[in-house]
Amino acid sequence: MSKEKEVKVSAEPGFVSIREIPGVNPAIADKLEAAGFVSAWMLVVAKPEEIAEKTGIPAVTVQKVIENARKLLGIRFKTAKEVKQERLNVKKITTGSKALDELLGGGIETKTITEFYGEFGTGKTQICHQLAVNVQLPLERGGLNASAVYLDTEGTFRWERIEAMARAAGLDPETTMNNIYYLRVYNSDHQMSIVDELFSFVPRNNAKLVIVDSVTSHFRAEYPGREHLAERQQKLNAHLHQLLRLAEAYNIAVVVTNQVMARPDVFYGDPTQAVGGHVLAHVPGVRVHLKKARGNKRIARVVDAPHLPEGEAVFAITEEGIRDVEE
Ligand code: GTP
Ligand code: MG
């Protein structure tokens, strides 16, 4: 994430440097930055003890700085009317399939995490590619006129696929590829620390979508078996919470994928849930289960979402990307 290109800065909360916080003198700022805390948002979402520990700044000073950062960012009580207004600010990204969009209440929402989970080959990665393209579409075509961040933990990103999908969407392939910030993620620590960096990267690069494909693979590999289950879940939950804060802070969509096994007996506990099921159990968000159907058809079902209509959507993975099934 080092190559930061200054493009159009979004009108949303945006990047606020720690140096703008009242009471942060250059000495404090240097310590904060050295520890990776570059934006005001990063301070208000971090634990005070963690900031004190990483920077060596006294706890009382940290507390004061956080208070000032909150004020600066306008974090305070809101009226229900303001909450309503914020809800109206939620935006949607089209998946490329009307049926799938309808199932999701209009598309992939900002300010939340959407998890796609299912067996291998159910289309999780294809949906991620499609969304990285579609977020770039103009508003009237179901996009957000913005860029995407693509965190790839399994090495399954294909630029050729982006190129083909862009062309099919009538977008310039070169521009489209330039607006996808790709990062190969090598382990779970790397994965977690990147989210911290995204608190400054996202607003600076007008990113409105962050993809993590897959969110679980490193955690599963590094914390294998039942004996590491608690630790793994705890780390994953912390990671997902941090992603949710990112989504809320900048009004962006976060999409994560999670492969589940065809043979649930290899996992523990309830075979339809537990580790073989979705990972968003303790984090608010939208969970979408994907299932294979005949040929290139796939079936999506939204799980545990009282605000969305029940039912299923069938879509197709075509040469052009995610599409409705042709009758
Ligand atoms: P895992 O990551 O292994 O869990 O699977 P996944 O859910 O990410 O599956 P993925 O999105 O990779 O979907 C794979 C399916 O998409 C394949 O089975 C193909 O049918 C289809 N697919 C992948 N690439 C292409 C392509 O270039 N053209 C077309 N038409 N279909 C493709
Ligand atoms: Mg995949």
Task: Kindly report the CATH number assigned to the domain that includes residue 31.
Answer: 1.10.150.20
Q: Are residues 213 and 288 located together in one domain of the fold?
A: yes
Q: Rounded distance, CA 253 to CA 89, Å?
A: 12
Does 78 reside within a domain? no
241 with 124, same domain: the answer is yes
Structural domain contains residue 3: no
At 225 the pLDDT is 81
Lowest model confidence (mean pLDDT) among 65-74, 124-133, 170-179: 65-74
Q: From atom 28 of ligand 1, which residue's Cα is the shortest distance away?
A: 319
Q: Which ligand is closest to the CA of 164, given by its number?
A: 1
What is the per-residue DSSP string for 162-205?
HHHHHHHTT--HHHHHHTEEEEE--SHHHHHHHHHHHHHHHHHT
CA 159 – ligand 1 centroid, Å: 14
Residue 272: predicted pLDDT: 38
pLDDT at 104 over 90: yes
In terms of domains, do 163 and 280 share one? yes
Domain that holds residue 52: 18-73
Mutation probe of ligand 1 site: the residue of 100, 125, 167 with most atoms within 8 A of C-beta: 125
Query: Would you state the structure tokens that stand for residue 300, as one six-digit string?
Result: 């999506």
Question: In angstroms, what is the span from residue 36 Cα to ligand 1's centroid?
Answer: 37
Specify whether 97 is located in the same domain as 53: no
Q: Are strands 297-303 and 286-292 parallel, antiparallel or unpaired?
A: antiparallel
Q: What are phi and psi of 111, to 5 degrees?
A: 65, 15
Neighbours of ion ligand 2 (CB under 5 A): 124-125, 156
Q: Are residues 116 and 29 in the same domain?
A: no
pLDDT confidence tier of residue 76, bands split at 50, 70 and 90: confident
Do residue 180 and residue 308 come from a single domain?
yes
Q: Quick one: 170 and 47 in the same domain?
A: no
Which residues, at least 6 apart from 171, have a Cβ–Cβ distance to it below 8 Å? 133, 136, 137
Is residue 13's pLDDT more than 80?
Answer: no
Can you give the pTM of this predicted structure?
A: 0.84
Ligand 1 neighbours (beta carbon < 6 A): 118, 120-126, 156, 161, 259, 296, 317-319
What's the rounded mean pLDDT across residues 11-27? 83
Count the domains in the chain. 2
Q: Are residues 116 and 259 in the same domain?
A: yes
- One domain, residues 191 and 278: yes
Mean predicted confidence (pLDDT) in 65-81: 89
CATH of the domain at 154: 3.40.50.300
The atom of ligand 1 lying closest to the CA of 120 is 4
Q: Which residues pair with 93 in a beta bridge?
A: 108
Say if 10 falls within a structural domain: no
Domain termination site, one of 26, 47, 73: 73
Does 119 lie in the same domain as 33? no
pLDDT in tens, 245-271: 999 989 999 999 999 876 555 544 433
Q: Which atom of ligand 1 sits closest to the CA of residue 296?
A: 20
In a domain, 49, yes or no: yes
Are 177 and 272 within one domain?
Answer: yes
**Position 59 pLDDT exceeds 90:** yes
